[in-house]
């Protein structure tokens, strides 16, 4: 079995499509130099389109827990959600390694392929954990809406958490990086494309509550303990633009804040 220097697989970008690439690799006894989404890049190099066949992908998916153990299938599904460059090729090579060594492949952390995928999956799970605390919802037309720009495709990992947290609400979490959204209404959740979605305009009440939250955040801050480096270590800066508490209320917000209790939040500012 050898890698063909001029062979690239092109697939449709789905997990089942990638499993068909694994099937193709074994069926043709070849290893491509890369696996690319057919619509993502110009096909400048010699390649082969791999159509998605659910029968073939089903055979591969059934073989993974049998040959590598259930943990390996869980691991591969998560690896597919990462932002790792050439993740498809790494997953193919990981599976080929696993078919040779069995379940012990999950412990082969000194192997470059296994180690690279483990780091990517750890980055995915850490980012999804951070977003469970960093997402900020706003009310738009009676729906809770939140935006984020994660590096990894974390929406499938956030689904259970937020559906259990807001079981009776309707909400939408927009992933601006991947153009996808997690849409939920009571007891029904779907991840859908939202690339062309125009965010609704916030009404006056929502703007006022945002300003109140910023005022509260700035009021309870201790000036002498201000440490932006420490804050960035716990709250990476790339998340800040979607977090309500950052920034200062505009000058014309004072009358509205007072009407909503701004004097109670910051009495010194009103003297």
Q: Where are the domains of the chain?
A: 8-124, 135-193, 204-270
> For the segment 102-145, what is each residue's pLDDT rounded down to a tens digit?
999 999 999 999 999 999 999 999 999 999 999 999 988 888 99
Q: How far apart are CA 167 and CA 173, in angstroms?
A: 15
Residues 6+ apart with CB under 8 A from 269: 262
**Cβ neighbour number for residue 157 with a 10 Å cutoff:** 19
> For the segment 62-82, what is each residue's pLDDT rounded down to a tens digit?
999 999 999 999 999 999 999
Ramachandran bin of 20, using left for φ above 0, alpha for ψ from -120 to 50, beta for the remaining angles:
alpha
Give the pLDDT band (50/70/90) at residue 206: confident
pLDDT of residue 39: 65
pLDDT of residue 46: 65
Ramachandran bin of 120, using left for φ above 0, alpha for ψ from -120 to 50, beta for the remaining angles:
alpha
């Amino acid at each position: 079995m050898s890698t063909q220097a001029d062979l690239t697989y092109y697939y449709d970008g789905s997990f089942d499509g990638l499993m068909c690439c694994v099937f193709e690799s074994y069926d043709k006894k070849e290893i491509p130099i890369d696996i690319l989404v057919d619509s993502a890049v110009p096909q400048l190099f010699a390649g082969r389109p791999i159509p998605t066949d659910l029968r073939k992908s089903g055979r591969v998916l059934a073989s993974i827990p049998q040959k590598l153990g259930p943990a390996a299938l869980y691991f591969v599904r998560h690896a597919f959600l990462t932002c790792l460059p050439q993740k498809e090729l790494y997953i193919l090579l990981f599976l080929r390694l696993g078919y040779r060594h069995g379940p012990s492949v999950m412990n082969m952390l000194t192997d470059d392929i296994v180690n690279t995928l483990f780091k990517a999956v750890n980055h995915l799970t850490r980012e999804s954990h951070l977003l469970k605390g960093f997402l900020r919802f706003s009310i738009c037309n009676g729906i809770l809406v939140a935006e984020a720009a994660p590096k990894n495709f974390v929406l499938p990992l956030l689904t259970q958490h937020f559906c259990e947290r807001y079981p009776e609400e309707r909400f939408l979490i927009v992933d601006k990086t991947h153009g996808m959204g997690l849409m939920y209404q009571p007891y029904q959740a779907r991840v859908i494309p939202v690339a062309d979605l125009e965010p609704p305009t916030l009404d006056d009440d929502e703007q006022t509550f945002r300003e109140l939250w910023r005022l509260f955040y700035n009021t309870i801050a201790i000036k002498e303990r201000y440490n932006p480096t420490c804050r960035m270590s716990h709250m990476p800066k790339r998340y800040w633009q979607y977090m309500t508490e950052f920034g200062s209320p505009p000058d014309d917000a004072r009358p509205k804040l007072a009407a909503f209790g701004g004097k109670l939040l910051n009495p010194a500012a009103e003297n």
